Amino acid sequence: MITAKTKVCMVIGDPIAHSLSPEMHNAGYQALGIAGEFVYVAANVRIQESEQAIAGFRALGIRGISCTMPHKLEVMRYLDEIDPIAQKIGAVNTIVNDNGKLTGYNTDWLGIITPLEEKTNIAGKKIVILGAGGASRAMAFGLTQKRAEVTILNRTVANAKTLAKEFLCNFGSIDDIETIRDADIILNATSIGMGEMSNESPIPEELINKNMIIFDAIYHPYETKLLQYAKNKGAQTIHGLAMLLHQGTAQFTLFTGQQAPVAAMRKVLLSHAK
Ligand code: NAP
């Protein structure tokens, strides 16, 4: 039961109505029998109100905050401390409030590394990241941290170059897509495959082979064109929902101090897969 002692966690973003985080975290509380101790809600917060929202978290004693677009950079200005990994990635997706002291973390990279490590040993693998935005940044950090040989290909080469310099990767244009033929792992961090581009794939089917692992960050649609191509070719696939799940399970632990019930949290996400 929710009582006066229940700790509140929440996600902020704009837009936020589509977020699956409340269901995922609350399912985790249920599974561990701590649904009276913690509750997780969502708030639509405009970017201009980021600072006021942070003041509100302090005033109300909100225990944990997940930050999604467009807040991941802006909130960093108002926190008391930023964990070194979040500092290196340059973005915060998680804020923990310890008696008024707000610390920013980044768990997005764990959303990438955890499902990949379930399938392979990342060290020494030839990996291509398509895209050079926020998701790509967390990928570049995590994969170079694990000593992979990473190449970033992007539509705007200058963005790939900036990221590649920061994380000591190779870079190029997404037009040089032929170069992925000898990659072990390919990650899509572009918007190609979602929304108006849901019928498109960032790479043609003929460049995929059965020895590859193909990871698409997009989670809506659940099975993107790219993942359909990968399946057709017998390659291993990782869905964007796995990334959402594992950045969330790491947040869960930061908020509650408990190991996340992964299966219960995965189940609720999969119930939304379409
Ligand atoms: P972002 O910062 O806006 O970056 C978007 C990237 O896509 C940029 O590299 C951009 O290239 C490229 N791009 C956009 N339209 C393109 C087009 N028509 N052709 C070629 N490239 C195009 O976005 P983000 O936050 O990194 O998100 C990227 C993807 O990851 C999205 O699909 C998002 O849904 C997904 N994502 C998933 C999760 C998860 O938990 N599963 C978490 C975060 C993001 P330019 O640099 O040339 O503009």
Q: Which residues contact 255 (CB under 8 A, 6 or more apart)?
A: 9, 25, 38, 63, 64, 96
| Residue identifier of the C-alpha nearest atom 4 of ligand 1 | 133
- Cβ 134 under 6 angstroms from ligand 1: yes
Residue 80: how many other CB atoms lie within 10 Å: 13
Residue 18: how many other CB atoms lie within 10 Å: 9
- Cβ 21 under 6 angstroms from ligand 1: no
Averaged in consecutive runs of 10 residues, what is the pLDDT profile of the chain (274 residues)?
A: 97 95 98 98 97 97 96 94 96 96 97 97 98 94 97 97 96 92 96 95 96 96 97 98 97 98 97 89
pLDDT at 200: 97
Give yes or no for a contact between 10 and 42, defined as CB atoms under 8 angstroms apart: yes
Percent of the chain as helix, strand, coil, to the nearest 5? 45, 20, 35
| Residue identifier of the C-alpha nearest atom 40 of ligand 1 | 244
How far away, in angstroms, is 124 Cα from ligand 1 center? 26
Pick the closest to residue 74 from 58, 54, 59 (CA basis). Answer: 54
pLDDT at 273: 87
Q: Give the whole-angstrom CA distance, residue 187 versus residue 161.
A: 17
pLDDT at 178: 85
pLDDT at 229: 98
- Ligand 1 atom at shortest distance from the alpha carbon of 191: 32
Candidates 14, 191, 201: which one to mutate for ligand 1, based on the most atoms within 8 Å of Cβ? Answer: 191
Give yes or no for a contact between 113 and 85, defined as CB atoms under 8 angstroms apart: no
In the numeric block, the tokens 């099975």 are attached to: 223
**132 phi, psi to nearest 5 deg:** -145, 35
Q: Catalytic site residue 5?
A: no
Taking the CA atoms of 204, 175, 70 and 165 in sequence, report the sign of the dihedral they define.
positive
Strands (E), 79-203: 81-82, 94-98, 101-105, 126-130, 149-154, 170-173, 185-188
| Residue identifier of the C-alpha nearest atom 22 of ligand 1 | 190
- Cβ 255 under 6 angstroms from ligand 1: no
Dump the DSSP string for 195-233.
Answer: GGGTT--SS-GGG--TT-EEEE---SSSS-HHHHHHHHT
How far away, in angstroms, is 267 Cα from ligand 1 center? 26
- Cβ 192 under 6 angstroms from ligand 1: yes
User: Tokens representing 191?
Assistant: 């918007």
The catalytically annotated residue of 5, 7, 72, 233 is 72
| pTM score | 0.94
pLDDT at 171: 97
How far away, in angstroms, is 131 Cα from ligand 1 center? 6
- Cβ 27 under 6 angstroms from ligand 1: no
Residue 196 falls in which region: left (phi positive, over 0), alpha (psi -120 to 50) or beta: alpha
Long-range contacts of 195-198 (CB under 8 A, 24+ apart): 198/224, 198/225
How far away, in angstroms, is 101 Cα from ligand 1 center? 32
Residue 101: how many other CB atoms lie within 10 Å: 11
pLDDT at 274: 83
